[in-house]
Amino acid sequence: MPHRRREHKYTRGIAGYLIGKSHEDHEGMARFVKPYVTRLRDLTDENASFSMLVNGETTQIYREESKQNIRLVGPSYATRPINASAAGKLLAAYEEEESMRRRLITETLTAYTQNTITSPMKLLEEFAAIRGRGYSVSTEEFAPGSAGIAVPVMSREGR
C-alpha cells in the first residue's frame, strides 16, 4: 500500500514493493534479461546488470554479482547517477537532448569522487562521445576502485 511522506507525496510502501518484486522476478523484465545478464557475468567474471530509466532515474532492473571475493556490492533496483556511472551516462546520452539540457540546468551534479563529471557542459560532451562510440565507460566516478562499461540494448526502431 502507498504511504504518505511529509512532503505530501505518495510513495510505494513495503507491501506494494514486495508484491511488485515477486511479480517482477517471475513475469517481468528481470525474468527476460536474467539469462543474458548471467551469461555476461560468467564470461567476464564481473558484476553484470541491466538498467533502465525509471521516472528519470537510472535503475538497475536486474543484477548478477561476480563470484570474486572482491567486488562492488549493491542491491538490485538501486539507482545510479547520470553523471557518475556507465549505465547512467549511457541512458542519459540516448535521451532526448533538449530534455537532458533542461535537466542539467536545474539539477546539481554531485561529485562522488575526484573523477565525477560535475560540469553540465562536460557531461553533454561526454554524452555526445558515448553516442559516437556506442558505449559508455566509468572509471572511479561513483566509488574509488570501481569501473564499469555499459552498452545500449536497442529496439528494432533504434531506440
pLDDT digits (tens, 9 = 90+) for 35-74: 999 999 999 999 999 999 888 889 888 889 898 887 777 7
Q: Which of the four pLDDT bands, split at 50, 70 and 90, describes residue 7?
A: low
Q: What per-residue confidence (pLDDT) applies to 16?
A: 61
* % of the chain beyond a pLDDT of 90: 56
Q: pTM for the full model? A: 0.77
- Whether the pLDDT of residue 9 is over 90: the answer is no
Residue 131, all three cell numbers: 553516442
Q: What per-residue confidence (pLDDT) applies to 95?
A: 93
DSSP state of 141: S
Express each pLDDT in 130-150 by its tens digit: 999 999 999 999 999 889 999
In angstroms, the Cα distances linking 103 to 57, 82, 151 are 12, 11, 23
> b/e for 70-85, b at 16 or more Cβ within 10 A?
eeeeeebbeebbbbbb
Please state the φ and ψ torsions of residue 125, each to the nearest 5 degrees.
-65, -40
Q: What per-residue confidence (pLDDT) applies to 128?
A: 97
Q: What per-residue confidence (pLDDT) applies to 1?
A: 44
Residue 137, all three cell numbers: 565507460
Radius of gyration of the chain (CA): 17
Please return the burial class of 36, using the count of CB atoms within 10 Å of its CB with bins 0-12, 13-18 and 19+. Answer: middle
User: 109 CB contacts (<8 Å, ≥6 apart)?
Assistant: 81, 83, 116, 117, 118, 119, 120, 123
